[in-house]
Amino acid sequence: MFSCSGDSPDVVTGMIQIFNFDVYALLDPGASLSFVTLYVAMNFDVLPEKLLEPFSVSTPVGESILADRVYRDCTPSITKAP
């Protein structure tokens, strides 16, 4: 199930699967990168790669965090609800 989120009609929330783990996600089709919290990432059976140059990311609530790790070849899947 997906629903509109916030002020932008282009941003939706819904369930996706990453590394066979179900995640409730904020989906922005205009975003060039995807991010997960440490809480979600600790459930993956894959180790992230350390970035040579970390970068700052603005969150939907206006805070900034430093991204210093990356999961490569991670394809999220979206399944149709019954």
Mean pLDDT by 10 residues, the chain (82 residues): 49 86 85 84 91 88 89 80 56
On the 0-12 / 13-18 / 19+ scale of CB atoms within 10 A, 18 is buried
25: phi then psi, degrees, rounded to nearest 5: -125, 155
Question: Which string of b and e fits 25-47 if b means at least 16 CB within 10 Å?
Answer: bebeeeeeeeebeeeebeeeeee
Can you give the pTM of this predicted structure?
A: 0.65
